[in-house]
Structure 1
Amino acid sequence: MIYGSVPFQTVHVPLGDRAYDVRIGAGLVAQAGAHIAPLLGTKKKVFVITDETVAGLHLQTLEAGLAASGIEMVSLALPAGESTKAWPHFTRAVEWLLAKKCERRDIVVAFGGGVIGDLAGFAASVLRRGVRFVQIPTTLLAQVDSSVGGKTGINSSHGKNLIGAFHQPSLVLADIALLGTLTARDFLAGYGEVQKYGLLGDETFFDWLEVNGPDLAAGDMVKRAEAVRWSVQMKADIVVRDETEQGDRALLNLGHTFCHALESATGYSDRLLHGEGVAIGCALAFELSARLGLCSQEVPSRVRAHLKAMGTKCDLSDIEGALPSAEALVDLMGQDKKVVDGQLRFILARGIGDSFVTADVPRDAVVKVVADGLAAR
């Protein structure tokens, strides 16, 4: 489909009266006004929340793209980084929206990576008991994962994403041209979420990534668009089956139980980016699966070999600086959102593309996997 001169692909998320499109293509930010205008009434104004890095790179393009359709924009730029996803900046965002007289029928635009998408979406969910918002994700991780599905929230001192709400966006514009401004590290961190989709439910996609992953990293726009589309379609299918994570949606957390503990241990800092933690967590989840006899040892070896070939983190030894003991890291997992009735649920796998959720995992097996990973540092 084409708006103006910009072709794009669409993944529809059919959630009844909360249904929306995810549009994927190059140049969508410059055409943002044409996409957003149909969502607006007579008030042609949007409220953009972004971060300082994205603002410096792309905010003028967004403003011009909105102005081309007669849409006024006011914006708030928060500091970049995971530490922004907390009460102080969340409060700042909500108070700014109120001060700017954002009304219930208006639209908030989340223009940034996963931190901004989660925070701005959560602000929209509670402002006046819920206003609409549009996601314009600027990182690979946000385009394939956090911008889709309606999970919004902030971190607590007790753990990651423990405060939030389900609030679906009205539209997602994934402009893959923006990925060209990412550092190599940030792109590969996003790739941690891309490969997760193949691992959890589609070996054909993982096969495709093993062949095409290097081209993605090198900047092939056609293959980047295909990887984003494939990932988004897989997530949309799961979200439609289980919007509020009562069952299948938990599969999307493959690798995240380990990841969230590692992020907490590293202080949500640049020592470990979220997608890097996901990649390491996936490798650990497959190693745990093999040790529990669920799959052969060749399977985690294949996972780690692909991550190494891509140049992303895949071992605890890839994290710089000190880490807590294995027992302490497993204790940190106890604050994970996937704890139910005091039992920690893991996403394990019988093979690539065949994952499942279970609470039947001996603690000592988890400790041993983590301890062995720490011993190799």
Structure 2
Amino acid sequence: MNSLLVDLGDRSYPIYIEAGLLNTSSPVTSHIKSKRVTIVSNDVVFPIYGEKLISALGDFDVDYLLLPDGEQEKNLANFDLIMTHLLEGGHGRDSTLIALGGGVIGDITGFAAACYQRGVDFIQIPTTLLSQVDSSVGGKTAINHPLGKNMVGAFYQPNAVIIDIETLSTLPAREFSAGMAEVIKYGILGDKAFFDWLEENKLAIKAKDSELLKQVIARCCQCKADIVAEDEKEAGKRALLNLGHTFGHAIEAEQGYGVWLHGEAVATGMVLASTLSEHRGLLSASELRRIIELLAYFELPIYSPEDMDLESYLKHMKRDKKNIAGQLRFVLPKGLGDSDVYGDVTIEELKQLLD
């Protein structure tokens, strides 16, 4: 079994990556400290994998709560449903929450775990490529607000992340593509060799070759684990993981949560950020072309929504969590495999970019 460690001292935790992990009681049961367990999932994932997980939990006292599927469901109302379920079920501080699903389920369950009785244990079992390579690792938990994505949340680390790559066999093609946006992000922002490798192996990756997918997931998780260990609460280097997200979050909020998948919005956001970088002379035209071509190969959108102008972006960007003293800040690649945060992007530059 492949395993990595997110090194955070006494709050360190493992990431397990293997096929068939939902078919066995280990490793999930080894990270549960009491008998009470609540599985939070959705009405798409649970019918496929819920019984497997309950069976793997054996003699634990297990209940579950199913939320509707979709980014629009990562909201205060469903957060309240989780709180009510735990309170009505008599759960105490020794209970464990298990998030079984994609990034929406992982984020809202983690936030609920952070808040319930001031903090209970939780385990991430991500079932989408995007959540496996990104959102399940690092302890960012949140819900959305109508005025901004992930604006209500907490940094709260799981006990473990358990990645069964067999769950990708039932993942819709559009969701797989959305996950590839986050995969490609890691190559652009800090690992040129990985970007080159993705180009070389794109055919087999798109065909969901299991051995290659394990390598993809492990490489991304290791990259994120290293950054989180260095900067858990985004005081510095961790901000680089937001490449494409300033534009992407604006697209998601403006279009309506769930209209564009998160990875789709991030893909377009990375094209916009990379184009801005090329305009500034940081990124070569050939590097920009390679980024666009790899995103397009995985059927990701590369153009800004036609109905969004500068003001459509700015009203959301002004609430971006990277901003300092009201100054917009953008993660820009300065060559494949290298990136930095810039606070000197002007409104005129953004206008030229979006025009």
TM-score bucket of the superposed structures, by smaller chain: over 0.9
Higher deviation after alignment, 43-52 or 281-290: 43-52
CA distance in 2, matches of 1:113, 1:40: 21
Give the superposition deviation at 1:216.
1.5
Q: Does 1:354 align with 2:343?
A: no
Could you tell me which of 39, 42, 50 is aligned with 1:48? Answer: 39
CA distance in 2, matches of 1:46, 1:125: 15
Give the superposition deviation at 1:306.
1.1
Are the equivalent residues in 1 in contact too, given 2:36–2:91 (CA < 8 A)?
A: no
Same amino acid, percent of matched pairs? 44
Gaps of 5+ in 2: none
1:211-236 CA-partner distances (Å, limit 9, x unpaired): 11221221200000100000000000
Give the superposition deviation at 1:338.
1.3
CA distance in 1, matches of 2:346, 2:205: 38
- Which residue identity is paired with 2:12? A
Are the equivalent residues in 1 in contact too, given 2:205–2:213 (CA < 8 A)?
A: yes
Give the superposition deviation at 1:366.
1.4
Partner of 2:189: 200
Give the superposition deviation at 1:349.
1.4
Partner of 2:353: 369
Are the equivalent residues in 1 in contact too, given 2:37–2:96 (CA < 8 A)?
A: yes
Are the equivalent residues in 1 in contact too, given 2:28–2:162 (CA < 8 A)?
A: no
Could you tell me which of 166, 175, 178 is aligned with 1:189? Answer: 178
TM-score, normalising length from structure 1? 0.92
Secondary structure in 2 matching 1:53: coil
1:279-313 CA-partner distances (Å, limit 9, x unpaired): 11111111000101212222211100111122222
Partner of 2:13: 20
Root-mean-square deviation (Å): 1.2
Partner of 1:66: 57
Partner of 1:35: 27
Partner of 2:87: 98
Higher deviation after alignment, 356-365 or 201-210: 356-365
Displaced runs of 4+ in structure 1, greater than 3 A?
none
Secondary structure in 2 matching 1:351: coil
Secondary structure in 1 matching 2:27: helix
CA distance in 2, matches of 1:367, 1:173: 43
Partner of 2:116: 127
Partner of 1:281: 269
Map 1:251-266 to 2 at 5 A: 251-266=240-255
Partner of 1:154: 143
Are the equivalent residues in 1 in contact too, given 2:254–2:312 (CA < 8 A)?
A: no
1:80-119 CA-partner distances (Å, limit 9, x unpaired): 0011101100111111112112221221101110000000
Secondary structure in 2 matching 1:352: coil
CA distance in 2, matches of 1:296, 1:116: 39
Pairs aligned (count): 355
- Which residue identity is paired with 1:124? A
Give the superposition deviation at 1:269.
2.4
Are the equivalent residues in 2 in contact too, given 1:214–1:310 (CA < 8 A)?
A: no
